[in-house]
């Protein structure tokens, strides 16, 4: 049987535990890969910006304090990226967020060699959106798709 002191301590600790483990009440964002832009090239490593469309499906604003992202190409890990940008994604809206990532040159060559047999690139994007709140509250997300590189594409724009 619990003593009276233990019951009082338990009663006082319960709200604190609930606050520490309470969900944010927000649904995770819908995240999609919009573009991949080369920002720095070297012999061993390429720096890229993953341009992500981050959609807030909630009826209230989503205050974010960063993103963690992992990108797989054709079923193999390709890049990990991070953004420490603070932003507010308005309710029922989409924003574009650049996430800087580094890719090994060897991994990049291997993934593009698969093009000869596949005709496209399957990608999987997974990560966490860090909420701008007390504690380490995160909202996980996943997205996947195929980049069809054999389809008729519009000609490149000239400047």
pTM score, two decimals? Answer: 0.73
Tokens of 40: 């720095």
The region of weakest confidence among 11-15, 26-30, 105-109, 118-122 is: 11-15
pLDDT over 50 at 53, yes or no: yes
Mean pLDDT within 75-91: 93
- CA 115 – CA 105 distance, rounded (Å): 16
Each domain of the chain, given as residue ranges in start order, spans 26-147
Architecture of domain 26-147: Sandwich (2.60)
As a whole number, the mean pLDDT across the chain is 81
- Burial string for 71-83 (b: 16+ CB within 10 Å, else e) reads bbbbeeebbebeb
Backbone Cα Rg of the chain: 21
User: Which residues, listed in sequence order, are joined to residue 94 by a DSSP beta bridge?
Assistant: 55
pLDDT given for residue 20 in this prediction: 40
User: Distance (Å, rounded) from C-alpha 32 to C-alpha 126?
Assistant: 10
């Amino acid at each position: 049987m619990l003593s009276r002191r233990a019951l009082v301590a338990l009663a006082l600790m319960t709200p604190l535990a609930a606050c520490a483990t309470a969900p944010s009440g927000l649904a995770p964002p819908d995240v999609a890969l919009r573009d991949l832009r080369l920002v720095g090239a070297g012999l061993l490593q390429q720096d890229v910006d993953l341009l992500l469309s981050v959609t807030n499906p909630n009826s209230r604003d989503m205050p974010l304090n960063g993103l963690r992202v992992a990108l797989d190409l054709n079923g193999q890990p390709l890049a990990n990226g991070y953004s420490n940008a603070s932003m507010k994604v308005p309710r029922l809206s989409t924003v574009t967020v650049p996430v800087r990532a580094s890719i090994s040159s060897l991994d990049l060559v291997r993934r593009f060699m698969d093009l000869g047999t596949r005709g496209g690139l399957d990608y999987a994007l997974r990560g966490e959106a860090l909420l701008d709140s007390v504690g380490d509250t995160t909202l996980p997300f996943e997205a996947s798709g195929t980049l069809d590189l054999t389809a008729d594409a519009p000609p490149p724009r000239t400047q």
